[in-house]
Amino acid sequence: MQTTWKNSCGQLLRTTPQINTMITTLQSKNVMLTDLVADGIDMRDYPDFADAFITSASVDGREATEDELDAINEMSELVYETVESQLY
């Protein structure tokens, strides 16, 4: 089952309840996200980079699970910041 929610940019996103729970958990627990690596960066899509996504990350010092990566990728501002930091 998919649900709809708005991210911090006001964009409507369709996600599963599991991803919604993971996003809430990541945001509420104030976890440390480090070593984020983005892929799918296409300079023809500048400045949006809409196809970019996080391929790996560390959550509190351990490798992120697939569910955590799905949740992280729903945080579009974080993905965009990661792309910017890799490019510049």
Q: What is the pLDDT of residues 49-85, one digit of tens each?
A: 999 999 999 988 899 999 889 888 988 888 998 899 8
pLDDT of residue 60: 86
The answer to whether residues 87 and 37 touch, using CB atoms and an 8 Å cutoff, is: no
Task: Report helix angle 17-28 to 66-74, nearest 10.
Answer: 80
Q: Considering the entire predicted model, what is its pTM?
A: 0.70
Total count of domains within the chain = 1
Angle between helix axes 66-74 and 76-87 (nearest 10 degrees) is: 90
For the chain, report the end-to-end CA distance as a whole number of angstroms.
39
**Whole domain around residue 7: which residue ranges?**
3-87
Per-residue pLDDT tens over the stretch 2-58 = 344 444 445 444 445 555 566 666 766 777 888 899 999 999 989 899 999 999 999
Contact between 53 and 82 under an 8 Å Cβ cutoff? The reply is no
Q: What's the token pair of residue 11? A: 């964009």
